[in-house]
């Protein structure tokens, strides 16, 4: 206890001069003031990664992607984060990334073929690996490991349409010239735009439909010589299938190819609806492999003979499965962020990349129709990017 003299003198009130002694408890004051003087820890914003982004709405251009106190990250990682995080062009960039990954997969299959393994066995292994990766991704972001109940019926329907579309495409590839089967399959973006107009009530602008029509025209110019001669593409093909088997029921196989592209378009619409409803695109991938894995396993042991793959073949299948996972997630993210009629036009960039790769590294002759077709597709895709994404009325 300390004493502090305080001058209380004054002339007012008729009192005389003097002093008073007031007791001040310094230790008690220190106890009361010290909490106020303590430093308040600043709350650092959480580090954002592609795992933490699940909001389907676009980020503001003024909103920073990361905190100022974060360490420097690589330039490539910043590009990936910007493409994923919901910026102005994120939907288009994610779809372009998906097409690029699919092109890489196509040429890896040429360099490292897995013809010794049956088709359904490859599909089963790939879907199982994608299933594991989906669980890892969802656990990383702290989301439930199973499909949300309020979107379960929607995602089940998406899985059914997607899987039947894949099976139909496999049948058309095995029974039609590859060039014709691929041309029919690339009608999927057009079917998806029409389906989005009917199912999702999206506005189908003249510019978007015109872009799709121009891209399909470019595709037809690229494959037109092979369609006329009924030959196969030099990029890929099933050499084990005889020509007589391919031409046994051409009308039915063509109808199956059209059916596949129609269901694929509907599946794109359901992917967009499911991604927006579940707030994360990985759920649409998870729902598909949850259905495809057991069905492909049953088909492997009932319709085909199981073959134990070699170590090199198994590594190739695993690598392709990992790439397929990121391609599917990027596609779902692109559909989540952007309207179907606009973003699906970016899928045609895969045709241009395939042709450029074939002419540059595989020695395929560059015909006039191929060059013109590639230029038309590039012009259509660049126009889509230049016009930019359309504003949605939420």
Does 70 have pLDDT greater than 60?
A: no
DSSP letters, 293-306, are HHHHHHHHHHTS--
42 vs 371: which has the higher pLDDT = 371
For residue 344, report the phi and psi dihedrals to the nearest 5 degrees.
-70, -20
pLDDT of 21 reads: 47
Residue 341's contacts (CB-CB under 8 Å, 6 or more residues apart) are 192, 193, 196, 197, 202, 204, 205, 208, 209, 212
Tell me the β-bridge partners of 23.
3
- Return left, alpha or beta for 132; rule: phi > 0 is left, psi -120 to 50 is alpha, else beta: alpha
272-281 tens-digit pLDDT = 998 888 878 8
**Can you say whether the dihedral through the CA atoms of 92, 319, 50, 147 is positive or negative?**
positive
97-141 tens-digit pLDDT = 999 999 999 888 888 887 788 889 999 999 999 999 999 998 888
226, 357, 103, 74 alpha-carbon torsion, rounded to 10°? -160
- Yes or no: say if 133 and 293 are a contact pair by the CB < 8 Å rule: no
266, 271, 277, 281 alpha-carbon torsion, rounded to 10°? 180
* Degrees to nearest 5, angle at CA 353 with 355 and 372: 55
Does 192 have pLDDT greater than 80?
A: yes
Does 12 have pLDDT greater than 60?
A: no
- Yes or no: say if 114 and 317 are a contact pair by the CB < 8 Å rule: yes
- Yes or no: say if 120 and 300 are a contact pair by the CB < 8 Å rule: yes
Q: How far apart are CA 123 and CA 129, in angstroms?
A: 10
Give me the mean pLDDT over the 168-186 stretch: 90
Q: 34-57 burial by CB neighbour count: b if 16+ within 10 A, else e? A: eeeeeeeeeeeeeebbbbebbebe
Nearest C-alpha neighbor of 46 from the set 63, 72, 70, 77: 70
SS3 19: strand
SS3 22: strand
Tell me the β-bridge partners of 22.
4
pLDDT of 255 reads: 94
257-274 tens-digit pLDDT = 999 999 999 999 999 998
Nearest C-alpha neighbor of 287 from the set 173, 394, 183, 135: 135
Give me the mean pLDDT over the 17-37 stretch: 48
Q: Which of 26-30, 145-149, 177-181, 373-377 has the highest mean pLDDT?
A: 373-377
DSSP letters, 272-289, are HHHHHHHS-THHHHHHHH
Give me the mean pLDDT over the 77-89 stretch: 73
Q: How far apart are CA 377 and CA 216, in angstroms?
A: 8
* Degrees to nearest 5, angle at CA 382 with 379 and 386: 135
């Amino acid at each position: 206890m300390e004493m502090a003299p305080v001058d209380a003198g004054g002339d007012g009130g008729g009192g005389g001069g003097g002093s008073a002694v007031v007791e001040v408890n310094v230790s008690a004051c220190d106890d009361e003031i010290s909490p106020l003087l303590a430093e308040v820890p600043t709350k650092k914003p959480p580090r954002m990664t592609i795992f933490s982004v699940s909001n389907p709405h676009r980020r503001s251009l003024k909103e920073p992607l990361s905190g100022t106190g974060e360490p420097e990250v690589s330039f490539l990682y910043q590009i990936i984060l910007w493409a994923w995080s919901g910026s102005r062009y994120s939907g288009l960039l994610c779809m372009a990334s998906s097409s690029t990954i699919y092109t890489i997969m196509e040429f890896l299959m040429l360099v490292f073929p897995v013809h010794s393994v049956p088709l359904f066995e490859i599909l089963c292994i790939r879907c199982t690996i994608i299933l594991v990766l989906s669980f890892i991704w969802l656990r990383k972001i702290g989301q439930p490991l199973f499909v949300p109940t309020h979107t379960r019926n929607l995602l089940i329907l998406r899985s059914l349409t997607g899987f039947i579309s894949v099976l139909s495409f496999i049948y058309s590839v095995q029974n039609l010239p590859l060039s014709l089967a691929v041309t029919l399959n690339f009608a999927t973006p057009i079917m998806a735009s029409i389906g989005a107009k009917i199912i999702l009530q999206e506005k189908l602008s003249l510019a978007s439909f015109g872009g799709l029509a121009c891209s399909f025209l470019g595709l037809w110019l690229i494959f037109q010589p092979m369609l006329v001669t009924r030959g196969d593409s030099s990029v890929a093909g099933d050499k084990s299938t005889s020509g007589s088997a391919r031409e046994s029921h051409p009308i039915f196989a063509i109808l199956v190819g059209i059916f596949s592209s129609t269901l694929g378009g509907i599946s794109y619409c359901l992917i967009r609806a499911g991604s927006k409803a579940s707030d994360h695109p990985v759920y649409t991938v998870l729902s598909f492999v949850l259905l495809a894995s057991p069905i492909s396993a049953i088909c492997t042991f009932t319709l085909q003979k199981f073959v134990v793959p070699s170590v090199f073949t198994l590594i190739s299948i695993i690598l392709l499965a990992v790439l397929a996972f990121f391609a599917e997630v990027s596609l779902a993210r692109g559909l989540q962020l952007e309207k179907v009629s606009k973003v699906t036009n970016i899928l045609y960039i895969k045709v241009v990349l395939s042709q450029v790769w074939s002419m540059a590294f595989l020695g395929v002759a560059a015909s006039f129709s191929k060059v013109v077709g590639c230029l038309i597709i590039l012009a259509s895709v660049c126009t889509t990017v230049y016009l930019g994404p359309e504003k949605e009325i939420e």
